[in-house]
């Protein structure tokens, strides 16, 4: 996957009048800080120079991860959005927006009319504003609100995103943060974390938090029942991003691409907005959402492929997660149609269950 041309242009502009070697040094110091000081509520990117380094080194991977999550969200709700195009998200609140990577990703999938970027650090905000000034009208006009994601409220939005912020918070602040996302959303929340055990733990925590409040899980899980993974297992996904010359230099190494690993969660939130109105009076999904999202309990439901498919001579093994639990399915070449599909299947894709 490539980042949008305009985003690349905005990134290259950041380097004008700046020393690229200094930017590279900052990338290494930020990395060290992220490795040693995450999860303590600390400020990890401090200066404008560091924010530039963050934008150059992290924005492409984050863009790819958020876009992948948004696409999974869209795919799961396709029948609903086809029948009710008026329910497509038009407003976005990005919490812990940083330099705006998630905004670029959402704007590449939905036609947004209003965007709020909620961010605590002015160094990130400054670079984020520059980056979004290369986007469409809604991005250029985004409202940047300075505040704390733990308590600071912002205007409600159809879709609320929060990428790679929860892992920076103190564990004792997680509930207040999640509650803030829930209260800000008028339809859906998409949360992303690094594709690590710790990142997945946060996602699982958020999944429990939201479902207890009546949310419906849309992706990656094809069901809202308890996560069927054993306690020592975890699930994450990956997307491959092309690397620019600048990125190769600041991150070191010659590989033309990088694999961004991420864990994510997309949920529908009961509320007063157009998406929220598809919940019934008991706060349960109804109509198209309900039929589609509960179908996993039946033979016609969907599963998520949660590992790289194992392609062998004459058969493919797929590790699937669905409302029925975790299962490894063996598709043999005797079943020609299914085998053809299974051979092309990819980690992270949704798969229709066959009876």
Ligand X SMILES: C[S@@+](CC[C@H](N)C(=O)[O-])C[C@H]1O[C@@H](n2cnc3c(N)ncnc32)[C@H](O)[C@@H]1O
Q: What does the binding site for ligand X look like in residue numbers (CB under 6 A)?
A: 58, 62, 96-98, 101-102, 119-121, 124, 148-150, 163-165, 168
Least distance (Å) from ligand X to the CB of residue 113? Answer: 21
User: CA 84 to CA 292: how far, in whole Å?
Assistant: 14
> Which residue's C-beta sits nearest to ligand X?
98
The residue among 164 and 279 lying less far from ligand X, judged by its C-beta, is: 164
The residue among 104 and 302 lying less far from ligand X, judged by its C-beta, is: 104
The residue among 67 and 324 lying less far from ligand X, judged by its C-beta, is: 67
Least distance (Å) from ligand X to the CB of residue 153? Answer: 12
Least distance (Å) from ligand X to the CB of residue 227? Answer: 24
The residue among 139 and 331 lying less far from ligand X, judged by its C-beta, is: 139
Least distance (Å) from ligand X to the CB of residue 168? Answer: 5
The residue among 73 and 164 lying less far from ligand X, judged by its C-beta, is: 164
Least distance (Å) from ligand X to the CB of residue 105? Answer: 9
Least distance (Å) from ligand X to the CB of residue 128? Answer: 8
The residue among 149 and 221 lying less far from ligand X, judged by its C-beta, is: 149
């Amino acid at each position: 996957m490539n980042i949008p041309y305009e985003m690349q242009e905005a990134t290259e502009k950041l380097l004008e009048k700046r020393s690229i070697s200094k930017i590279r040094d900052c990338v290494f110091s930020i990395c060290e800080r992220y490795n040693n000081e995450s999860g303590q509520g600390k400020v990890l990117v401090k200066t404008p120079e560091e924010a530039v380094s963050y934008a150059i080194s992290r924005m492409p991977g984050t863009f790819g991860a958020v876009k992948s999550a948004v696409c999974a969200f869209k795919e799961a709700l396709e029948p609903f959005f086809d029948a009710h195009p008026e329910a497509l998200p038009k407003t976005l609140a990005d919490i812990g927006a940083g330099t705006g990577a998630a905004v670029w990703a959402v704007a590449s999938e939905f036609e947004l009319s209003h965007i709020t970027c909620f961010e605590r650090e002015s160094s990130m905000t400054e670079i984020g504003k520059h980056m979004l000034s290369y986007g469409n009208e809604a991005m250029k006009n985004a409202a940047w609100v300075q505040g704390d994601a733990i308590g600071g409220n912002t205007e409600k939005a159809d879709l609320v995103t929060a990428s790679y912020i929860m892992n920076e918070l103190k564990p004792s602040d997680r509930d207040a943060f999640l509650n803030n996302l829930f209260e800000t959303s008028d339809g859906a929340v998409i949360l992303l974390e690094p594709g690590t055990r710790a990142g997945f733990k946060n996602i699982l925590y958020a999944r429990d938090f939201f479902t207890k409040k009546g949310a419906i899980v849309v992706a990656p899980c094809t069901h809202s029942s308890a996560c069927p993974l054993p306690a020592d297992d975890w699930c994450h996904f990956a997307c491959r991003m092309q690397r620019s010359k600048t990125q190769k230099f600041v991150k070191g190494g010659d590989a033309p691409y990088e694999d961004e690993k991420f864990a994510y969660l997309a949920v529908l939130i009961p509320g007063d907005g157009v998406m929220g109105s598809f919940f019934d009076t008991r706060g349960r999904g109804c109509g198209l959402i309900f039929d589609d999202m509960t179908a996993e309990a039946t033979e016609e439901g969907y599963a998520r492929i949660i590992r790289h498919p194992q392609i062998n001579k004459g058969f493919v093994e797929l590790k699937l997660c669905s409302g029925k639990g975790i299962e490894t399915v063996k598709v043999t070449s005797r079943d020609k149609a299914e085998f053809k599909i299974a051979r092309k299947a990819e980690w992270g894709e949704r798969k229709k269950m066959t009876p």
